[in-house]
Amino acid sequence: MVYEKLRLFSGTSNPPLAHSICEHIGKPQGEIYTQRFSDGEIFIQVKETIRGLDAFFIQSTSSPANDNLMELLIFIDAAKRASTRNICAVIPYFGYARQDRKSAGRTPISAKLVADLISRAGATRVLTLDLHATQIQGFFDIPVDNIFAIPLFAKDIEEKNALMDDVMIVSPDVGGVVRARALAARLHVDMAIVDKRRPAPNVAKVMNIIGDVEGKHCILIDDMVDTAGTLCGAAEALIEKGATKVSAYASHGVLSGPAADRLVESNLHELVITDSILQPQRILDTNKVRTISIAPLMGEAITRIYDARSISSLYEDS
C-alpha cells in the first residue's frame, strides 16, 4: 500500500528501530540534517518538502534524556514551520514518566511539563508504548495512543515454554498488579505479587511474596527496568521461596548504572526487553538480555493513525 502523504523521520536516539519501522511500513526514511554545535545546541533541517503532509518523528527520550527530548521538540518546531498538516511524535520510550505526581513537598510533576512542551511545540498527536502511568495521557491536550507490549510478551512466553503448567506471572510490586493480571489472563496461568518497599529512588527492598511459587517458573513482568535492583531482588526472593527458575519481561530496558553487573550476578535466567531503547554493548555482553522488536507493532499503529483506523484492536483480547 502506498501512503502518499505519510513521511517517516528518525531522531538520533534509536536509528535501528526507526529503520525497522520504515521497512515494515514500506516507506523510505525521510531525509533530515541534524547538527550539534560545539556548545551542545541542536540544529535540524528537514531536507524535503513536507507541506500539507503527515510527519511521524521516531524518537525515544532515553539517555541522554534531555538531549533526545530537545531534539524531538526542535524537529516538531521545524515541521510546524514547514506547514506540515499533522505532526505525530512517535516516542517508544517516554522519559520523565516516573515523575507523574508530587511525591513530596516542593517537587515537580515533570511528566506534565514534558507533555506541555511537546504539545506547545506543535505536535498534533503522540504515539508511545507502555507509559509508566497511564494517567499521563491526560497530561496532554492532544490525542495520545498508548499501545502495549503484552501481546508480544504473551506470544514469546508461549513459544519459549512448551509446558505452561509450571509458569506463574509475578508482579514485582503492588503497582504492577494490573499489568501482571492482564498477562496472566492471556496465558491462563496463576500470578503472584512481590511486596516491596522503596526507601529511596532506585533502592528497593523485598518484604514478602504473596502467592505460592514453589516449583514454578516465575516470570516477572514490568514496564521498565532501570538499575535492575527490583528485579534482581525479586528473583532472589522467589528462588528462596522455591521457584525453580525466574525470568523477566520488561517493555523498556533503561538499564543504567549498576544494571549490567547486577544482571550478571543475579539469579535471573533471562531478561527480555523490547527495542524501544537502543542498548549499549555492555548490556548485550551480559548474555542475560534478549530483545524482541516492537517495529511491526509501532509500524502498524502508525499506518492505522494515518488511515484513521482503530488502534486498540492491536492489543485488546480478541
162 belongs to an annotated ligand binding site: no
Rounded Cα distance between 65 and 117, Å, is 14
286 belongs to an annotated ligand binding site: no
281 belongs to an annotated ligand binding site: no
C-alpha angle 192/196/202, rounded to 5°? Answer: 125
Q: Is 56 within 8 Å of 31 (Cβ atoms)?
A: no
Task: Answer whether 0.75 is exceeded by the pTM.
Answer: yes
99 belongs to an annotated ligand binding site: yes
Whole-number average pLDDT of the chain: 94
Give phi and psi for 174, each to the nearest 5: -65, -35
> What single letter denotes the amino acid at residue 124?
T
Segments of the chain assigned to CATH 3.40.50.2020: 6-148+295-314, 150-292
The CA-based diameter of the chain, rounded to the nearest angstrom, is 61
Q: pLDDT > 70: what percent of the chain? A: 96
In this predicted structure, what is the pLDDT of residue 128? 98
- Is 160 among the catalytic positions? no
Residue 201: pLDDT band with limits 50, 70, 90: low
176 belongs to an annotated ligand binding site: no
What is the DSSP annotation of 32-52?
Answer: EEEEE-TTS-EEEEE-S--TT
Residue 207: pLDDT over 70? no
Q: Which residues pair with 224 in a beta bridge?
A: 252
CATH number for the domain whose boundaries are 150-292: 3.40.50.2020
| Burial (CB count within 10 angstroms: exposed 0-12, middle 13-18, buried 19+), residue 110 | middle
132 belongs to an annotated ligand binding site: yes
Q: Which helix (H) or strand (E) holds 23?
A: helix 15-25
In this predicted structure, what is the pLDDT of residue 318? 41
Residue 175: pLDDT band with limits 50, 70, 90: confident
Averaged pLDDT, 2-11: 94
Cell digits for 165?
503448567
User: From the centroid of its chain, how far is CA 241?
Assistant: 30
Give phi and psi for 52, each to the nearest 5: 75, 10
Averaged pLDDT, 211-231: 95
Which of 155, 160, 196, 245 is labelled catalytic? 196
Rounded Cα distance between 47 and 153, Å, is 38
262 belongs to an annotated ligand binding site: no
CATH class of 6-148+295-314: alpha beta
Q: Is 291 within 8 Å of 16 (Cβ atoms)?
A: no
226 belongs to an annotated ligand binding site: yes
Higher pLDDT, 115 or 314: 115
137 belongs to an annotated ligand binding site: no
Cell digits for 42?
541542536
Place of cell 527495542: 275
